[in-house]
Structure 1
Amino acid sequence: MTANLKVDFHTHTSDDPQDYIGFSAEQLIDRAAERGFDALAITNHDAVTFSRRLEEYAAARNVLLIPGVELTLSHKHVVVINPGFKKAEDFRSLDDLAAIRNDNTLIIAPHPYYPGSRCLRSKLEPCLDSFDAVEFSFFYNHFINPNKRAVATARKSGKPLVGSSDCHNIWQVGHTYSLVEAEKGIPSIIAAVKNGRVEVATTPLSMGSMFRVGINWVLGDKLNVHLRI
């Protein structure tokens, strides 16, 4: 039976080998359950954080845990949902997307037009056919919104738009997510997104919240100061 499932396709945890994240996979799952999520993908950078134990931990809280990873390909970030591999280091180029993509995976262009050096930006359109969806990211407000170009690209190309939290701070959970019309199973969710049965649910951040995200990014991800505000 299909339903509008509350899903976050882009999150991070303390297992992330690149960024400092101050909460565990279990804590993220707990928060997602508290916020009424039906499904969740942990997409740490170049590392697949998924195990039978975590899958069962999530299931006990009525959350479907979906395998995922945020790959670095040609120095740009790409989110792969339900990857058919465990070793992210086997893939290094955007040209590898042809080998990664299949009916069972979902390839998402995350925060594509944000100013970060790892964002796809001009690299997206030349390889847009290798992507299944474009991300609408949580980090915006009424005055600053780099998602506008992502929305335009999705509309022009006919690609679905998915909402994600890109959660580096646990309070981000629930600000932006996807509503997917599907059965509660990985194949059904992936097929639904590819067929456009997905909507973005989002709330703009306050200026204070955007400031918090920026400070935490500088402290944790750039200066390696393990402090979150």
Structure 2
Amino acid sequence: MTEIKVDLHTHSEGSYDGKEPVELMVEHGEDIDIDGFAVTDHDEIEESLKACEIAEDYDTVVLPGEEVSTSDGHLLAIGVEEKVDPSRPFQETVDDIRDKGGAAVVPHPFQKTRHGVSKRKIKDVDAVEAYNSWIFTGLQNRRAKKFSDKKGFPKVAGSDAHTLGLIGKAYAKIHIDKPRKEIEPEDVVEALRNGKVGMEGSRAPIHKAAYHYLKASVRKTAYFTSKFLEELIPEVKRYSKPLIEIYRKDFTG
């Protein structure tokens, strides 16, 4: 049995609150002490699929994925190769992810400020992210772990990285009955769906977490303002992307 380390929760420039090109993410994955990662942008999958293509020339196992905005909160779709539609009920989205060949993982549960899914909605999922690196205290992770243990859900971890330096800060320990060189993304998904997982992680430095949330709030304001204006005035669409890019440049460096 081979154990590999896979960060199941990272973001690229494909997310409204991300900044890293997937080319750099894959290269960076070769240089750190993990075996792979999933690119899970918010309601987007193009950059994730691009990362998988790039990874074919590397040893790093890169999984396609998406962080889906369900009507009840965020949900990671690990291993899907087509976009999962947002704004649908939580369990309906879980079923769709599985139908698309993926595994459904609940990120940062119960955290309302981060669109976490409530306890009463989590009834049938493949795993719960019981450790997330972007926290100010350990309370939320302890709550997630306690809930997972009580309900019998497999526990995994993810860095929720939006910058290169945080990739691999937390990861799932995936157990697969294959030699490391033969392991493919679909093997990781199968292990997730069968509960053959563990977790390990550490927190982002508090000052970095605070700065991250400040930047994220600014980027979210730019993103959702542009979307709102697009609905009101379709002609605004030509200016919305430049607006988001200006905010990215000014506030992410």
TM-score (norm. length: structure 1): 0.84
Higher normalized helix content (fraction of residues): 2
Match of 1:137 among 132, 139, 150: 132
Q: Hey, what's the Cα distance between the residues in 1 that align with 2:122 and 2:201? A: 27
Contact 2:128 2:144 in 1 (8 A): yes
| Aligned alpha-carbon RMSD (Å) | 2.4
CA distance in 2, matches of 1:102, 1:78: 15
**Structure 2 gaps, min length 5:** 223-243
Deviates more, 1:37-46 or 1:200-209: 200-209
Could you say which residue in structure 1 is the equivalent of 2:199?
200
Provide the rounded CA distance (Å) in 1 between the counterparts of 2:83 and 2:73: 18
Shift of the alpha carbon at 1:73? 1.2
Give yes or no for the alignment of 1:166 onto 2:170. no
Map of 2:252 onto structure 1: 228
SS at match of 1:200: strand
Rounded Cα–Cα distance in structure 2 between residues aligned with 1:153 and 1:55? 33
In 2, Cα distance between the equivalents of 1:106 and 1:74?
A: 19
Deviation at 1:220, TM superposition (A): 2.6
1:29 aligns with 26
Q: Does residue 72 of structure 1 match 2:66?
A: no
- Structure 2 counterpart SS, 1:89: coil
Number of residue pairs aligned between Structure 1 and Structure 2 = 220
What are the within-5 Å matches in structure 2 for residues 72-91 of structure 1? Answer: 72-83=69-80, 86-89=82-85
Q: Give the direction of change, closer, same or farther, for the CA distance of 1:72–1:87 in structure 2 (3 Å limit).
A: same
Matched, 1:94 2:93: no
> For residue 229 of structure 2, what is the aligned residue in structure 1?
none
**Residues 61-97 of structure 1: CA deviation (Å, up to 9, x unaligned):** 21122111111111511111122x6243376222422
1:150-205 Cα deviation digits (max 9, x unpaired): 10111011111111011112221121111211242223222323333222111233
The yes-or-no answer on 1:148 pairing with 2:142 is yes
Which residue does 1:63 correspond to in 2?
A: 60
Distance 1:75 1:113, change over 3 A: closer
- In the alignment, structure 1 segments of 5+ residues that lack a partner are none
Matching residue of 1:211: 210
Q: Secondary structure at the match of 1:193?
A: helix
Q: 2: distance between equivalents of 1:40 and 1:204? A: 17
Amino acid at match of 2:85: E
CA–CA distance in structure 1, aligned partners of residues 204 and 69 of structure 2: 27
Equivalent position of 2:238 in the other structure: none
Aligned-residue offset at 1:38: 1.8
Percent identity over the alignment is 22
**Aligned counterpart, 1:111:** 108
> How far apart are 1:15 and its partner, in Å?
1.6
Q: Return closer, same or farther for 1:222/1:100 CA change in 2, 3 Å cut-off.
A: same
Between Structure 1 and Structure 2, whose CA radius of gyration is higher? Answer: 2
Q: TM-score, normalised by structure 2?
A: 0.77
Letter in 2 for 1:166: D
